[in-house]
Structures are given as structure tokens and as C-alpha cells.
Structure 1
Amino acid sequence: MIYIGIDISKYNHDCFIATETSVSFSFENNSSGFKELLEHFKPFNKSEMIIGLEATGHYGDNLKSFLSSHGFSFMEINPLLVKKFSDSKSLRKLKTDKKDAKLISEYMMTVDYKAYHHQSYHISALKSLTRERSKLISFRTAQYNMITKTLDIIFPEFNPFMKEQGYSDTSLYILSYFKSPDKIAKMTDLHYDKIRKKSMGKFSYPKFMKLKELAKETIGTSQDYHLDRLSTSISYVEKLNTDIKVIESRITELMKKYPTYFGSIKGIGTLTEAIILAEYGNISLYDSPSQMVSYAGLDSTIKQSGTMSTTGKLVKRGSKYLRSALINITLILMVNNPLFYAYYHKKKQEGKHHRVAQVNLAKKLIRVIHHLETTKTYFDSSLLK
């Protein structure tokens, strides 16, 4: 077998081909560099090539796509594993890109080769979409907080009255169109008709009249710069809402091509299913659920010395997007699945804190997901133990 290690970086990649006359070279992260790589690969049979490269974010996406399109299989490696492998070989701290490429090729000789799945190029696109959505939601939350801070000054009665998590299209319409409590207090029945249509009939007339009364009696103070700041934040939120809807539509369309078995678990929606699939990739590559738990950073630190052994906080390595999705979905799982609900309360009765019980439930979900995907079976709650 021909073991090949590729160290990924932004502008140049380093490659080491372990043969009787080993070859080490650098190539640019562009078309001419990729063609140069192909020239070095020409003497070898594809079936005998074991290619490994570090998982280093988006810098290697184009190379992975190029290799896949030319019929080469390869395996992505966690950089932490390569570092530990390096530490085990020498106590000297010597790190260069060329040395890393050689280390990757040597590491590939010590592990079972699990090639990048043929769907992975599309899974990578799905990962980009789900992560972009997560970032946009974070930006939107920041703007929500800005709107709340401003309303606390100019109209502090608004949020307690509306009782919303975030800001609905109806609230945004009222705040952007009327801007100040004075104008809200002077709304007419014609304005109510527009608001009612915006809310699809959910905003009642008594609620409309109560909002006018609160605006008239507000203790808030309105300055022009407060109103300008409110208007700016609302325009940002409206743009973000549009962008998020577009991304969610693309995610939904992409997921139609890659249905999963774990998507049959009641409570897991398409967007959460997409995050889990995008972050894990081909679940059949994981030998056990414990590997999936570690990848999500849901395993605990263990400190052992002599006769003492303690477990600490979550290691929180791996994908923060995956970890967040798995923990957040536990609340919905409990509502929709009695056995997940019973498992959570079993952990609570053992004296575990709510958050700890949630993490335990997330781990159980991972075990279920691994079983469903490796056995290619749909979820059946009657078989859950």
C-alpha cells in the first residue's frame, strides 16, 4: 500500500508519499497546484493509495472535492489524534508542515482506513448551510437584545404585554411602522385591520386597545437617537429573518436527497436532523456510540490518581454546533417520547442536576442514532430500553 499524508493550510498544502523512495513536496491551493498533485499520483494505482488529511475547516474543501471528482478516496483525521501520535514518537517539540504531512502518512499506517463517503461532498455543503444558519441566528439574537434594551427605555411595558420569545412579525411591524409610543397610542381601527392581517387574525381587538392604552400611559422616554437605534436593529432583524428562511429552504431541499433513519424519531425536525447528519457525516464510520459522544464533546473529564477517581466537567471538544443541537433537542424529545421522558426523570431521581440529566439524555439519543443508522432500521419506541 502507498501511504500518503497531506497537511492542509490556507494557501499551500504539503504532501508526503511514503514509498521506497519517499517523496515530499508542497503544492498551491489552486488549479495548477492540484494538477501538480495529480502528476505525483500518476505512477500509483488508486486502489493501493491510502490518503489521509487533517480535518482543518474549510481550507481543504476544494481539495477534497477535487480528489473525489477524480476518483480518489481519502480519510479525514482529527488533528488532535495526529498531535498525540507525534508526542508518542518523540519528546522534542518540532513542528513544520512537511513534518506534519509525514506524520499523517505514518499515522495512516496505524489505523483502519475508513474512506471519505461518496456523499460527503454534499454533506459538506449541508454543514456549511447549517453552520451559517446558526451564526445568523446568533446575530439575530444580538439584535433582539438591542431592541429589548431600547424598549426598556422608550416603552418598557411592550415586552411584558406581548409575552414573546424574540419578536414576531406582528411586533416588528408595529415597532417599525409606528416607531414611538406616542404614535402607537394614536393608532386607528384602519391600522388594526393591517395588524390583524399581519398576525393572521391572532392579534385581537381588545389586545389592540390595551396596547394603545399602555403606550399612552408609558413611563418610557423617547429620544431621537433611541428611535433611530430601534429602527436600525429592526431592519437588521428583518434582513436576517429573510436570509435565515432562504437557508432553511435550501437545507430542507438538500435533506430530501439524504433521508436518515434517525429522522423517524418523533420530535427531531428536519433542521435538527440536518445539523446532526452534517456534523457527524457518515455515521457508519463510527465504531461505537462512545466515539460519537466524544466527537460531540459530551464525555466528561476523568481524573485518576492512585485509589482516587473522579469525573469532572464536559470536555467540550469537537463540534459545538452538534453539542448544542443534541442538548437542545432533549426537551422536545421528552414531550414527544414517553420513554425519553422516563429516562430523564430517572436521572433526576438519582440526584442529577437538570443540565446533567439533559446531557445523559443526549448521550442516550446518540446511542439510539448509532443503532438506527448502523442497523438501517427506523425508530420503534417499543424496542427502546
Structure 2
Amino acid sequence: MDHQLYLGIDLGKTEHHATGITAAGTVVHDKPLPQSEPKIRALLEGLQATHGPVLVVVDQPKTIGALVIAVARDLGIDVAYLPGLTMRRVADLHPGQAKTDARDAFIIANTARTLPHTLRGITVSEESIAELSMLCDFDDDLAAQITQVRNRLRGFLTQIHPALERVLGPRLDHRAVITLLTRYPSPGRLRTAGRGHVRSVLKKHAPRLAEKLTEEIFTALAEQSVIVTGTSAAEKIIGRLAEQLVQLGAQRTEIETEILTVVDAHPLTQVLTSMPGVGVRTAARILTEVVGKDFKDAAHLASYAGIAPVTRRSGSSIRGESPSRRGNKVLKRALFLSAFASINASPASRAYYDRKRAQGKRHNQAVIALARRRTDVLYAMLRDGTFYSEPTPPVVALAA
């Protein structure tokens, strides 16, 4: 469709700024736009009636931009978005250094008019994908909170009893250790409880580990006889932090169940999880970041994820390839972690990883190379709807 008006919208939480530029380059609208459906609808209907086909361009397609996109689609108006990195680079080509909503909205609209190839389409997401995206975002928030609480708890343990922290700190992801700290949150309380009580608490959640861990705990307790200043206050804080970890872990388990329900209902789930290293959470993240987007080939998908190497050449002084610093970081992390997990789950992945390590690549480099290789397979699986098949190693003929 030949658009007659390009409406650039710089998004904000309570108020946006909208700038409309005609195909001839004339600014016909430049005003704030409240985050309100009636206001947005009135503006879009008026511009469409006056100027003809409109293209709405936003600087982010999710969260605060969701309402604008929904209203535009409801009116049958085309929508696109301008990636942030592209916008920053284009902004450097415009005169002035001011950072205002009006200037950003003008840059968005003018870029859409003059450089349409820089735009990204916004396809209508499936309802399940939109729901899955929200659940995954919340799951990521919970994971970040759990990491933060664990680090704080380890910090307090290190402050009052370093030897005990060396035993319990690395195991704070184990339910048995967290339960133990909620009941006995200080070295003194652990000593008073004695081996029998500590062992019985650990046995409820870690029957095989209980005996060994109990001995390690009391060996560590025996290494320090002095009581560090602030231990009594730390005891109260450690107990609360341990309770937080229990609550956050329970919430994450509930969210995982909800994610599993949504993921299981999607037709591509069985295809994704057939690939070694792809579990429920990884499959969910791949679905939210890939479904609804059009990739020409596997290289395009790898570039979008930021796992394709970037070639850098300048005369004879700079030659080589380096990891990309761009791409979808959420998808990149999912592909990286799935590749790492596949090393012990797939003989083909292990062989490829070992080959890259033998070539002198560091661990992360080898895993990224493996992720890039697996992207070719993943693209074909998603395109054709086929399940993963482990490559058959070549048969070497023996000399007679």
C-alpha cells in the first residue's frame, strides 16, 4: 500500500508525542497524544480521513506501545516499528543534539518516509503467544529476584561465618538447604540443634545428601569459635531471606506450571522440545521471540538472535570476525543455554563442541559456534514442522 501519511509516535507511560509527515515531506501534525483509547482513535480516524492511508510507526512494539498498536489495527491502519539502535544512528544524521519527545517523533516519522527498509513489521501475535510472553517476562523477573536474594544471603553468611558459607552458599538452590536456614538461620542455632536435628531436616528434601552435608556443616562450624559483631542481627535477616527464597521458588513453580500449560497447547512445542537442550522454558522463549516474525533463512534468524559472527575488514590492518553485540538478547540467551545443555545430551553437539575447542576456541566461543550451527537445524524444523533427528556419524570403511 502507498501510504500518504507517516505518523511517528514517541511512546511514553502516560503521554506520547505524535508527528505526522506526508509523503511529500510536509509536517501536518505535531502534538502530544495522551495514552487514552478515545484520544488515539480520534487522532487516527481524523488523519486517515484527511490524508488517506496512514502508516503508524512506534519506537517499541510492546508494553507502553500495546494500546496504540491495538487501536491502529482495530481501524485497519498499518503499523510498524523502528528499532532503537537504528533510531539512535539516524538521529545522529539530523541537526541538533536536543533529546525531546517532539524531535524523536519527527525522526521516527521521517525515517519511515525516507528509509522504509529500516522498519520492522509488527504481525498480529497469537493470543497464546501474547499470554506466554507475559508469563515468561514474569518468570524472568522472579529468577532475577531469586538471584538477588541468594547473593544477599551469601553475603551475610560470609560476613558472620565464612566457613559455613563455603558449605551452604553454593547449595542455596537446593530446597533442603533453604529449609534448614529458615529453621536454623545462624551458626549458633545450628550448633544448638545438633547433628540429629539438622540431619532429620535435610533428609526430608535430600535423603542422599543429608549425611554428607551434615558432617560438612559441623566441620565448618568447628573452624570458627568467635562470634562476629552483628551476628544476632544477621540471624534475623538470614531467616527472612531464606523465607523469601522459599516463597519466590513456590511462585516460580506455579508460573512454570502455567507456562507449561500454554506451551503444551502450541503446535510447535513438540517440534521444539524434540531438540536436545530445549526444555519448557527455552521452548517458551523461542516461541515468544520467533513466532510472528518473518525470517528469510537460517542466517537471518541467527543474525536476529545476535549469534552470527560479524566480519570486520579495513584494508590490511583489520581482518577477522568477532561476536555480534546486537540482536535479540532474550533469544540469544535461550539459544546459548540450549546449546550448552545439548553438549551432554547430544553426541553430535559434543563432537562439534570438542572440535571447536581443539581449534583453540574458548568455552563461550565454542558454545556460540554450536548455537549458530543448531540455528540452521532449528530454522528448518520450524519451517517444515519436522522433529529433530540426531545426525548419523559417517561410516569409515576399513582397509582390507
Bin of the TM-score, shorter chain as denominator length: 0.7 to 0.9
Match of 1:266 in 2: 276
Shift of residue 272, structure 1, vs aligned partner:
1.0
Query: Is 1:2 matched with 2:19?
Result: no
SS in 2 for 1:7: strand
Shift of residue 271, structure 1, vs aligned partner:
0.3
Match of 1:18 in 2: 22
- Larger CA deviation: 374-383 vs 351-360: 374-383
- Cα pair distance change 1:5/1:295, threshold 3 Å: farther
- Cα pair distance change 1:107/1:58, threshold 3 Å: farther
Match among 131, 139, 158 for residue 133 of structure 1: 139
Query: Is 1:364 matched with 2:370?
Result: no
Whether contact under 8 Å (2:124, 2:292) holds in the other structure is: no
Shift of residue 282, structure 1, vs aligned partner:
2.5
Query: Is 1:295 matched with 2:301?
Result: no
Shift of residue 250, structure 1, vs aligned partner:
3.0
- Cα pair distance change 1:32/1:151, threshold 3 Å: same
- What TM-score, normalized by structure 1, do the two folds share? 0.82
Match of 1:152 in 2: 158
Shift of residue 269, structure 1, vs aligned partner:
0.4
| Residue type of the alignment partner of 2:63 | H
Identical aligned pairs, as a percentage? Answer: 17
Q: Distance in 1 between matches of 2:281 and 2:310?
A: 30
- Superposed CA offset, 1:104-130 (max 9, x none): 43156457x874332256534433432
SS in 1 for 2:135: helix
Q: What are structure 1's unaligned runs of at least 5 residues? A: none
| Residue type of the alignment partner of 1:2 | H
Shift of residue 76, structure 1, vs aligned partner:
2.8
Whether contact under 8 Å (2:41, 2:72) holds in the other structure is: no
Q: Distance in 2 between matches of 1:203 and 1:346?
A: 36
Would you say how many aligned residue pairs link Structure 1 and Structure 2? 378
SS in 2 for 1:307: coil
- Cα pair distance change 1:248/1:207, threshold 3 Å: same
Whether contact under 8 Å (1:13, 1:29) holds in the other structure is: no
Match of 2:59 in 1: 54
Match of 1:305 in 2: 314
Match of 2:260 in 1: 252
Match of 1:335 in 2: 344
Query: Is 1:276 matched with 2:286?
Result: yes
- Cα pair distance change 1:191/1:82, threshold 3 Å: closer
| Residue type of the alignment partner of 1:232 | R
Q: Distance in 2 between matches of 1:190 and 1:107?
A: 73
Match among 72, 76, 93 for residue 67 of structure 1: 72
- Cα pair distance change 1:42/1:358, threshold 3 Å: same
- Cα pair distance change 1:313/1:115, threshold 3 Å: closer
Match among 222, 228, 231 for residue 217 of structure 1: 222
- Cα pair distance change 1:208/1:42, threshold 3 Å: closer
Shift of residue 352, structure 1, vs aligned partner:
1.4
Quote the RMSD (CA, aligned, Å).
3.5
Match of 1:348 in 2: 357
Whether contact under 8 Å (1:182, 1:215) holds in the other structure is: no
| Residue type of the alignment partner of 1:265 | M
Query: Is 1:314 matched with 2:323?
Result: yes
Q: Distance in 1 between matches of 2:127 and 2:389?
A: 31
Q: Distance in 2 between matches of 1:162 and 1:144?
A: 11
| Residue type of the alignment partner of 1:242 | A
- Superposed CA offset, 1:214-248 (max 9, x none): 36624163521221332232233223223323332
